[in-house]
Amino acid sequence: MSEVERYWIDPGRLVQEGWHPDDTCVVKDWAYDRVVAERDGLHVSLNTADQTIDDLNAAVSRRTHRVRELEAQLACAVDALNEVVKVSAMHEKPFEIATLAIGELSASAQLEVKP
């Protein structure tokens, strides 16, 4: 933030009501206005940054929720594949059946995921 030149004056020269004798430090009005404008601009920047942080936190939360959903679907798929392997006779080639099932689950999961 910019520095403002300060001037000290004799308290007797302050004629406006409400001035305290210790309030002898004054600044030029254009300098004060400049500092106020800078402060207001920084305040807007801070609010924008806070909003961006809130938006990013919400996006991370949504993605985390989606990852947990996909993990649950994957766990169900693994359980189903384990059951296929248990009940399949060896001549049915359980590995090939499992590979096909994984491919189908993967394709359906990709359709659900939207950028």
- Predicted confidence at residue 107, as pLDDT, reads 67
- How buried is 96 (Cβ within 10 angstroms: 0-12 exposed, 13-18 middle, 19+ buried)? exposed
Does residue 12 form part of some domain? yes
Q: Does 77 fall in a domain?
A: yes
59-79 per-position pLDDT tens digit: 999 999 999 999 988 888 888
CB 2, CB 34: distance < 8 Å? yes
**What is the residue range of 17's domain?**
7-112
Q: Confirm whether 2 is domain-assigned.
A: no
H-helix or E-strand containing 49?
Answer: helix 29-87
Give a yes or no: residue 1 inside a domain: no
Residue 35 forms part of a structural domain: yes
Confidence of residue 8 (pLDDT cuts 50, 70, 90): low
In total, how many domains does the chain have? 1
Predicted pLDDT of residue 29 = 78
Full-model pTM: 0.52
